[in-house]
């Protein structure tokens, strides 16, 4: 990015979260550190903190995703925000109203944050550039471009298992060409300072000039690519974004690139296996790996709540309210008198 980063306010704080591109290591680390403080909320008798009490969050999902929408909704509710889920298929946009008209009407209802998922790359940036000054926008996935909260929850999961990023070798396997998740992961991993990011996929599923453009090392052989890896991230084959003959068949893909227990043995003994979900068992990996001891896939889902709570609280401008000196939220009992923000 050139010029001021549109995701940051005048003080350099996070205003929108649209992409990991252009954010420095210190800010990404702050998101991870703040997320640690939200992990314990799920263990509280009352699973809420009042950091966003009085705020309204609108989920604008122009593309289906039950998992992501649900986690954003739950994260907002745990922050004590009110949540509005807009049913796009029956909303005014489906009746001819423009997107900007819809936004203006929601802003007139005093909405404070839009969580946006859209099939078109750049949609979240467009909405952020036209939103009222008091409104924050979080990108919940736009086309092939970016899925920054998924990227950060994956980084959070890696750090909790590996302690940090220095010296790590991370292998990303699968449909990198169509994956907004992979782009966010690669940007975050390189910014956080891993030793090497590897991309393992058929030639048809690797972007042109990936090594130079993405800062990765490309492999077309799974066994070679996962050798001595610390982390293996499997990606879903995104058939809905494929408009040509990218693969002969899913069966052949699994034969060449599916992760099995035997192929996993080539990685380091303490290597972890990740997947952003949903999993296609028998395509990206077999069930022994998905349900095995090295799989942290369900942890990713739990960690996603903490990371999204952290990002939402930072973007909505409440990071200094009801927080301890490290920025981590205090228990509910000590923050009941936190003023509305």
Which residues are known binding-site members? 67-68, 95, 117, 147, 150, 180, 236, 277-278
| DSSP H or E segment with residue 149 | helix 148-162
Q: Exposure of 300 by Cβ count < 10 A (0-12 exposed, 13-18 middle, 19+ buried)? A: buried
Annotated binding site for carbamoyl phosphate: 67-68, 117, 147, 150, 277-278
Judge contact between 18 and 25, C-beta under 8 A.
no
Judge contact between 195 and 189, C-beta under 8 A.
no
Annotated binding site for L-aspartate: 95, 180, 236
Write the CB contacts of 255 (distance below 8 Å, at least 6 apart in sequence): none
How many Å apart are CA 263 and CA 240, to the nearest integer? 28
How many Å apart are CA 154 and CA 235, to the nearest integer? 12
The Cα-based distances of 195 to 167, 215, 276, 339 in angstroms read: 5, 11, 22, 44
How many Å apart are CA 20 and CA 40, to the nearest integer? 26
Judge contact between 51 and 329, C-beta under 8 A.
yes
């Amino acid at each position: 990015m050139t010029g001021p980063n549109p995701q940051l306010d005048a003080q350099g704080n996070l205003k929108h979260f649209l992409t990991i591109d252009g954010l420095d290591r210190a800010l990404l680390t702050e998101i991870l550190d703040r997320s640690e403080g939200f992990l314990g909320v799920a263990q509280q008798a009352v699973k809420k903190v009042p950091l966003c009490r009085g705020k309204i969050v609108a989920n604008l999902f122009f593309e289906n995703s039950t998992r992501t929408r649900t986690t954003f909704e739950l994260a907002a509710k745990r922050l004590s925000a009110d949540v509005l889920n807009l049913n796009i298929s029956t909303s005014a946009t489906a009746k001819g109203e423009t997107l900007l008209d819809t936004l203006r009407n929601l802003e007139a209802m005093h909405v404070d944050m839009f969580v946006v998922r859209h099939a078109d790359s750049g949609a979240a940036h467009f909405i952020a550039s036209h939103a009222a000054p008091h409104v924050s926008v979080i990108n919940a996935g736009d086309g092939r471009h970016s899925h920054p909260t998924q990227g950060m929850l994956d980084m959070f999961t890696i750090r909790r298992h590996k302690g940090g990023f220095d010296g790590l070798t991370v292998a990303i396997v699968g449909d990198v060409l169509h994956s907004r998740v992979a782009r966010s992961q690669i940007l975050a991993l390189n910014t956080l300072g891993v030793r090497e990011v590897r991309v393992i996929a058929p030639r048809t599923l690797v972007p042109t000039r990936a090594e130079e453009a993405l800062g990765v090392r490309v492999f077309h052989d799974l066994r070679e690519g996962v050798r001595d890896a610390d982390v293996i991230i499997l990606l879903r084959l995104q058939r809905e974004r494929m408009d040509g003959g990218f693969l002969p068949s899913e069966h052949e893909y699994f034969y060449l690139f599916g992760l099995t227990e035997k192929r996993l043995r080539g990685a380091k003994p303490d290597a972890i296996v990740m997947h952003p979900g949903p999993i296609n068992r028998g395509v990206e990996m077999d069930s022994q790996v998905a349900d095995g001891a090295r799989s942290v896939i369900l942890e990713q889902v739990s960690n996603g709540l903490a990371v999204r709570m952290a990002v939402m609280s930072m973007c909505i401008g409440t990071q200094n309210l009801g927080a301890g000196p490290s920025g981590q939220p205090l228990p509910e009992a000590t923050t009941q008198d936190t003023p509305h923000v």
